[in-house]
Structure 1
Amino acid sequence: MNPTAIRRPAVPVLLAALLAALLLAAGCAPRVSPPGTVIADLRDMPQDAGAYIDPLTATRPLLPPDQHKALADDYRQRFFAPWARTAPAHGPKEVFGFLDGFDPARYHGENRLPLPAGLASEMRELADPESFPNTLRPAISVVASDLRVLPTVRPLFHNFALAGEGYPFDYNQNSAVWAQTPLLVLHTSADGAWALVETSAAAGWMPTRDLAFVDAGFMDAFNTVHLAALTADRVPVADCFGQFRFMGRVGMVLPLTGRDSRNLDVLLAARDTKGQAVLLTASLGDDVAAPWPLAPTPANFARLANELLGQPYGWGGMYANRDCSALVMDLFAPMGIWQPRNSAAQARHWGLVPFGDMDREARLHAIAAQARPWLTLLWRPGHIVVYLGQWQGRPAVLHSAWGLRTLAGKASGRHILGATVITSLEPGEDLPELERPAGNLLLQLGGLAQVGR
Structure 2
Amino acid sequence: MRVLSLAVMGAAASLAACAAPSALAVSPSGVPAFSEDMLSPEFWIRRAPSPDVVLLDAGQVAAKRELAFGPEGGLIDLKAIPATLTRAQVAGWVRDAQQTPIKAAINEQGRPVTEAMLDELRQNASAEHIPETTAARHGLSVRRTYLRSLPSGQRFFASEDLRDYESLQAGVLFPGEPVVIAHQSADQQWLFVQTTQGPAWVQRGDIAEGTADAVFSYVAKAPGRVVTGDQVRTVFTPEAPGVSELELDMGVALPRADVSPGEPVNGASSYASWPVQLPVREEDGSLAFRSVLLRRTADTAPGYLPLTRANILRQSFKFLGERYGWGHQFNARDCSGLTSEVYRSMGLLLPPNSGMQGKSAAMNHRLFTAQDSHAERVRALEQAEVGDLVVVPGHVLMIIGHVNGEPYVIQDVPYAVFKDPATQQVRKTKLNQVSVTPLLPLYADDTPLYVDAMTSLVHVTRP
Higher-Rg structure is 1
Q: Deviations over 1:61-90 (max 9, x none)?
A: 112454234225556999994356336697
Give, in angstroms, the shift of residue 141 of structure 1.
1.1
- 2:256 partner SS: strand
Q: Tell me which residue corresponds to 1:354.
A: 368
Structure-2 residue corresponding to 1:125: 123
The answer on whether the counterparts of 1:175 and 1:202 sit within 8 Å (CA) in structure 2 is no
Q: CA deviation at 1:447?
A: 2.8
Which amino acid is the alignment partner of residue 184 of structure 1? V
Relative to structure 1, the CA distance from residue 120 to residue 98 in structure 2 (aligned partners, 3 Å threshold; closer, same or farther) is farther
Give the whole-Å Cα distance in 2 for the aligned partners of 1:96 and 1:437. 29
Return the offset for 1:127: 0.4
Alpha carbons 2:400, 2:409 under 8 Å: kept: yes
Mapped partners of 1:135, 1:320: distance in 2 = 34
What residue is the counterpart of 2:227 in the other structure? 230
Equivalent residue number for residue 408 of structure 2: 396
- Give the equivalent residue in structure 2 for 1:8: none
Task: Mark the CA change 1:414 to 1:150 in structure 2 (over 3 Å): closer, same or farther.
Answer: farther
2:264 matched to which residue of 1?
A: none
Is residue 175 of structure 1 aligned with residue 175 of structure 2? no
Structure 1 residues 101 and 395: alpha-carbon distance in aligned structure 2, compared to 1, 3 A threshold: closer
Contact 2:90/2:130 (<8 A) preserved: no
**Pick aligned residue for 2:433 from 415, 419, 434:** 419
Please show how residues 19-418 of structure 1 align to structure 2 within 5 Å.
38-41=30-33, 43-44=35-36, 46-54=38-46, 57-72=50-65, 81-82=77-78, 85=81, 86=83, 92-97=91-96, 107-132=105-130, 136-160=136-160, 166-215=162-211, 218-219=214-215, 222-227=218-223, 228-238=225-235, 241=239, 243=241, 244-257=244-257, 263-284=273-294, 285=296, 287-349=298-360, 350=363, 351-354=365-368, 356-369=370-383, 371-374=384-387, 376-405=388-417, 415-418=429-432
Taking the aligned partners of 1:340 and 1:281, their CA distance within structure 2 comes to 30
8 Å contact from structure 1 (residues 295, 335) kept in 2 = yes
What is the CA distance between 1:238 and its match in structure 2?
3.1
- The CA deviation at 1:287 is 4.5
Q: Deviations over 1:368-423 (max 9, x none)?
A: 23x2211x21110000111122123211112111223589xxxx996321111121
What amino acid does structure 1 have at the position aligned with 2:391? W
Give the drift of 1:253: 1.5
Q: Deviations 1:270-328 (Å, cap 9, x if unpaired)?
A: 11111112211123226422133221012222232122111110112122211111111
Q: Is the 8 A contact 2:143 2:206 kept in 1?
A: yes
In structure 2, relative to structure 1, the CA distance for the partners of 1:202 and 1:238 (3 Å cut) is farther
Q: Quickly say closer, same or farther: Cα 1:447–1:233, change in 2 above 3 A.
A: closer
1:13 is aligned to none
In structure 2, give the amino acid aligned to 1:49.
P
1:446 aligns with 2:458: no
What is the one-letter code of the residue matched to 1:237?
Answer: T
Counterpart amino acid of residue 265 in structure 1: P
Unpaired segments of 5 or more residues in structure 1?
1-26, 28-33, 429-433
Cα deviation per residue 1:207-259 (whole Å; 9 max; x = unaligned)?
A: 11111112356336524541131011221213775751511110211113469
In the other structure, the counterpart of 1:22 is: none
C-alpha distance in structure 1 between counterparts of 2:236 and 2:80, whole Å: 27
Cα distance in 2 for partners of 1:126, 1:281 equals 37
Name stretches of at least 5 consecutive residues in structure 2 with no aligned partner.
1-15, 17-25, 262-270, 420-425
Superposed displacement of residue 50, structure 1: 3.0
State the percentage of identical aligned residues. 22
* Separation of aligned partners in 2, 1:245 and 1:50: 31
- Bigger proportion of residues as helix: 1
**Residue equivalent to 2:423:** none
Determine if contact 1:95/1:203 at 8 Å carries over to the other structure. yes
Q: Which structure is higher in RCO with an 8 Å CA cutoff and minimum separation 6?
A: 2
Residue-by-residue CA offset, 1:151-204 (whole Å, 9 max, x unaligned):
11122322346xxxx322222111122222111112110111011122212321
**CA 1:436 to 1:359, structure 2 compared with 1: closer, same or farther past 3 Å?**
farther
3-state secondary structure, aligned to 1:448: strand
TM-aligned CA distance change 1:314 to 1:100, over 3 Å: closer
Shift of 1:426: 3.6
Task: Return closer, same or farther for 1:353/1:405 CA change in 2, 3 Å cut-off.
Answer: same
Q: TM-score, normalised by structure 2?
A: 0.76
**Amino acid across the alignment from 1:95:** V
User: Matched residues in 2 for 1:206 and 1:334: separation?
Assistant: 25
Q: Is the Cα contact below 8 Å between 2:31 and 2:416 reproduced in 1?
A: no
Q: What letter matches 1:309 in structure 2?
A: L
| RMSD over aligned Cα atoms | 3.7
Residues 264 and 286 in structure 1, CA contact (< 8 A), matched pair in contact too: no
Q: Is the 8 A contact 1:142 1:211 kept in 2?
A: yes
Letter of the aligned partner of 1:194 in structure 2? Answer: W
Deviation at 1:443, TM superposition (A): 2.9
Q: Are the equivalent residues in 2 in contact too, given 1:403–1:415 (CA < 8 A)?
A: yes
Partner SS, residue 308 of structure 1 = coil
Moved over 6 A (4+): 75-80, 100-104, 258-262, 434-437
Give distance in 1, aligned partners of 2:68 and 2:392.
Answer: 25
